[in-house]
Structure 1
Amino acid sequence: MIDTIIFDFGDVFINLEKQTQQDAFKKLGLNGPNEVLVHANDQFEKGAISETEFLNSFSAFIPHASHAEIKQAWNTIIGDFPLYRLEFLQLLSHKYRLFLLTNTDSIHIEHFEDMVGVSFFSDFYQCFEKVFYSYEMGMRKPDEQIFKTILSKYDLNPKKTLFVDDKKANTDAAEKLGMHIWNLQVGTEDVVDLAKQKHLPL
């Protein structure tokens, strides 16, 4: 019997606009990501490099763009957060222990909070026993240690824990540790279908 649910954030609750972000960077002169920027993103999501160091990694490829322009382009990936998903989460929070676990960075979280406002993000965060940001934890999914840390710290039984994420590598890592999983398919599935997909009582 599942009593705990750990949720991802991007493309589970908030929609991500990946093409919009690529287009924004193209306007600044950057034609898609590369190995250097992917590595910098990984490091930034682990809190291993500062915001300035992260932005400088882009400046190396688009020297004419200011840090403000780079941040603006970086944040265009953050789409809308439909209210019905928050309402569903609030309903769920009365029946299950809920946690949020997301690979993210300080720039995106600051932008998200500014975008939705204090009332909305407060209501969202209050649904969870704890919100875990990779950049604060110093590790990111699919590193098994990130899951082990949460399971251990909150005394969670993996056999009674469901993990919901849109990336298969992340759900595979959770499944190896004995958790139930839902690898949500973006575009064809919605988090509010949880009860139907996993046969959970609401």
Structure 2
Amino acid sequence: ILMPELASLRVAVLEEGNKFLGHRIIPINALNSGYHHLCLHSESNLPLTMPALFVFLELKDYVPDTWADLTVALANPIKFFSAHDKKSVKLKEAMEGLPEKPFPLGSPIVRPVNGALAPTSNGSAAGARAKEEAMKEATEPQTASPEELRELKGVLKLQRRHEKELRDLERRGARRWEELLQRGAAELAGLGQPSAG
């Protein structure tokens, strides 16, 4: 429910012949879990004297399956973290069993490059260096310096356009101010002259 303050629950009671007996509309935020008596209302939403329902309400939060792990972790964090620690220990044990260097260091691997065969360097050492560089780049995001940003054409164009608009606004404001001063001076001069009458 996106807007619970606008949502409501409608309970309708019908006879076996589909004859309407009564209904009740309750706002969702007024519902509470447990046993309740619901007095029924007519079609025009007027309360009926006798008909009532005895109901048991059980309220639960809907959580999509994609967030189920998160809700379990929030509901019982100690159990979640102990299970997480067990998984990390198992993963470390599994990683220790793998060989450190997957390729033999003997002859270099030959791969076709642009139609020609070219030998590559030591695969494990080059791969390790590449992984280290990739991890370093991933962990340390680089931000652009203000000088680099100023060099960008789009930023400079926007800055020039904003400066031009600001100058135009200042000129218009100054003209308007002078017009108001002249008009005020003329009105003041008109008030100061004695009227002939």
TM range (shorter): under 0.3
Q: TM-score, normalised by structure 2?
A: 0.20
Higher RCO structure (Cα 8 Å, ≥6 apart): 1
Q: TM-score, normalised by structure 1?
A: 0.19
Comparing both structures, which one devotes a greater share of its residues to strand? 2
